[in-house]
Amino acid sequence: MNTFAGLGLSEATLQAVQDVGYEQPSPIQEQAIPPMLEGRDVIGQAQTGSGKTAAFGLPMVEYVDPALHEVQALVLTPTRELCIQVTQALRSYANHKGVDVVAVFGGAPIRSQQAQLKAGGHIVVGTVGRVLDLISRHSLVLHDCRFVVLDEADEMLDLGFLEDVERILSLTPNSRQTSLFSATMPPPIRKLADAYLYDPVLVQVKAATLTVDSVEQFQLDVKSADKPDKLTEVLREERPDQCIVFARTKIGTDRLYRKLRDKGMNVKALHGDMSQGSRDGVMLAFKAGRVPILVATDVAARGLDISTVTHVVNYDVPVSPDVYVHRIGRTGRVGRSGRAITFVEPRQTKELEAIEQHIGTKVAPWAPGATTAPAPVAEKPKRHSKPQLTRNGDEPYRRLLAGAGQAEGVEVADLVAAVTRASGLEGEAVRDVRVLQRFSLLSVPASEVDRVLAEVDGTEVRGLPLRIELARA
């Protein structure tokens, strides 16, 4: 069974599948959709990028009745980012049925969400806290909710939401159809499934089928004190189109981001201590390709589903093999190849051995130009339409003066991003960046000065037009 038509979906839903460009069902879709169409509860163990949103979304859209003006289905998500992502997907699946999908999440005005629920809402996709808030205000009533999906359940556990999830489930009909999707299955998640799912079908997509074939995996032995410099070396050698660097803690994430930024790299951080507005801004910039390097914690990166990520760096060895699989699954997506590099400190060899045993293969040592592919990897898609110009390091450079500095809140990364985005230069071709109080200095290859001046002058930085000119001696 390797077509959507063979899964038992209606013509309207098949048309929606065709509209979004799906050709063949992924393993999680092939295994989960038929039992869900039969009304069975389902536990799906699969990582982000496996197609699980369609696995639960298509059957849900199939059975929701647009003529019944009640909330008939609820999808609970741990983060605002995932909530928005799932909502967009469900709306595309429901395009031919007239089913209304409403997103409810924190960090946005609750009154507008109340108004959307009052006006309709057959399917509600929401974060746990906002769903509870709307229930307490009697704006969200779940008496007729026949379908419930818990998405990324292990992250709900990480964030301490399981008790709230149980409160929400207790307010839905006992006859509901419940599905739980999770990348990992720790004991509390299994206990939740045992308590709230009836005779569920277990669908597991093994890590090896998702990652090993499409991701080249490397390990790099490094002492703790040498890791920042080694990361810089790896990034300069690999030249990723887009890379997620995973750090274990929020503090470590912030510290590493600052070190890379101070080296002139175009990088942003993503972790749970940031404001929602800051997180949204970083997510949008990374998804749009304006920021090639993202330093993130596991929890903060859960909402990211980006097919153009070419590299994953495990700056800190993951706490478990499951987390390793989840991380490296961020690359090698949608038929593309990817590369994953794991830093291993001397005291962490046991963790690496556990990972190798879990994935069923040895992780090769990393070196510049190293490859595990039997044939050359296909050329990666470019992030810019302009030429990407590499440098040999020996050519002459010219100093430029930019009319913005610390007083405007400008940072090194802002200037590097502005120049690379507008001119097409690689980030490392922009050198010796110094941000002073009222202006900044930077150097670019002498052969590119005229083009940089023409294309960068007037570019927005921090919402202000950037004025740039040759620095006088």
Domain boundaries, the chain: 5-205, 209-365, 397-470
| 243 phi/psi in degrees, rounded to 5 | -140, 135
Q: What's the alpha-carbon Rg for the chain, to the nearest Å? A: 24
Query: Do the Cβ atoms of 400 and 442 come closer than 8 Å?
Result: yes
Give me the long-range contacts of 230-237 (CB less than 8 A, separation at least 24): 230/343, 231/256, 231/260, 231/313, 231/315, 231/343, 232/260, 232/263, 232/265, 234/313, 234/341, 234/366, 235/260, 235/265, 235/293, 235/313, 236/428, 237/368, 237/369
Residues 216 and 337 sit within 8 Å (Cβ to Cβ): yes
Q: Is residue 339 within 8 Å of residue 310, measured between CB atoms? A: yes
CA atoms within 13 A on the CB side of 350: 2
Place of tokens 């006992």: 174
Cα–Cα distance, 76 to 107 (Å, whole number) = 16
397-470 matches 209-365 in CATH topology: no
Contacts with 65 (C-beta within 8 Å, 6 or more apart), sequence order: 72, 122
**Residues 6 or more apart in contact with residue 433 via CB below 8 angstroms:** 264, 412, 415, 416, 440, 441, 442, 443
Q: The tokens 């108004």 sit on which residue?
A: 115
For 133-153, the pLDDT digits (tens) are 999 999 999 999 999 999 988
Q: Strand 243-246 relative to strand 293-296: parallel, antiparallel, unpaired?
A: parallel
From residue 433, alpha-carbon distances to 357, 461, 467 in Å are 45, 15, 15
Distance CA 141, CA 134 (A): 9
Topology, domain 397-470: Alpha-Beta Plaits (3.30.70)
Q: Which two tokens stand for residue 20?
A: 């979004």
In our burial notation (b when 16+ CB lie closer than 10 A, e otherwise), range 392-405 reads: eeeeebbbbebbbb
The structural architecture, per CATH, of the domain 5-205 is 3-Layer(aba) Sandwich (3.40)
Please give the span between the terminal C-alpha atoms of the chain, in angstroms, as a whole number: 71
Beta carbons within 8 Å of 3's beta carbon, 6+ residues apart? 24, 25
pLDDT of residue 396: 79
d(CA 29, CA 211): 17
DSSP code at position 147? E
Q: Which residues of 333-346 are buried (b: 16+ CB within 10 A; e: fewer)?
A: beebbbbbbbbbbe
pLDDT given for residue 299 in this prediction: 67
320 neighbors 339 (Cβ within 8 angstroms)? no
Q: How far apart are CA 215 and CA 331, in angstroms?
A: 7
- Residues in the chain, overall count: 473
CB distance 62 to 73 below 8 Å: no
Class of domain 209-365: alpha beta
Name the DSSP letter for residue 245: E
SS3 breakdown of the chain: % helix, strand, coil, rounded to 5?
40, 20, 40
What pLDDT was estimated at residue 208?
40
Q: Are 121 and 71 in contact (CB under 8 A)?
A: yes
* CA dist., res. 399 & res. 380, Å (int): 32
62: left (phi over 0), alpha (psi -120 to 50) or beta: alpha
- Whole-number Å distance between alpha carbons of 196 and 154: 16
d(CA 110, CA 259): 38
pLDDT score for 77: 93
Candidates 362, 294, 352, 321; CA nearest to 183 is: 321
- Which residues lie across from 180 on neighbouring strands? 43, 150
Q: What residue ranges of the chain have pLDDT lower than 70?
A: 1-2, 47-50, 206-213, 299-307, 333-336, 370, 372-395, 425-429, 473
DSSP-derived secondary structure letter, 12? H
Q: What is the pLDDT of residue 386?
A: 32
pLDDT at position 387: 34
